[in-house]
Amino acid sequence: MEEIHLPHDHGQRMEKEFAHIPAPDAFQTVADVFKQLSDGSRIRIFWLLCHCEECVINLSAMVHMSSPAVSHHLKQLKASGLIVSRREGKEVYYKAAQSRQAQLLHRMIEQLEQIVCPAEDAAP
């Protein structure tokens, strides 16, 4: 490991932390996921897709948005790997990905907004 010499000595020994700091691209992955949080409508669509699999038309009705607007958000969510899609005939259905990032984001949204997950609310 390359030794790092800090310009100011504040009496802290950071060698352990430097040995474990992730590469810059690891932080970029986090930044890309957090970019999805920059729009409330996108967060709402993602949260819905954590609880159901739906087509654009139904999602549009659920969130009171136009189909092109919902499609735009779906494209961004899919590009970030937070949702997946499947085609059945002419219809395309979307749902949250089963990835660690998607699951963490789902939980974070619910905790920040103090939303009870419908699946947990139904548990005895």
- Which residues are CB-contacts of 83 (< 8 A; sequence separation ≥ 6)? 46, 49, 74, 77, 94, 95, 96, 97, 102
Phi, psi torsion values for 110, nearest 5 degrees: -65, -40
Neighbours of 103 (CB within 10 A): 14
CB 82 within 8 A of CB 33: yes
Q: Structure pTM? A: 0.75
pLDDT in single tens digits along all 124 residues of the chain: 566 676 777 777 666 677 777 788 878 877 887 887 789 999 999 999 999 999 999 999 999 999 999 999 999 999 989 999 999 999 999 999 999 989 999 998 888 887 766 666 655 5
The CATH classification number of 40-121 equals 1.10.10.10
CA–CA gap between residue 79 and residue 76 (Å, rounded): 5
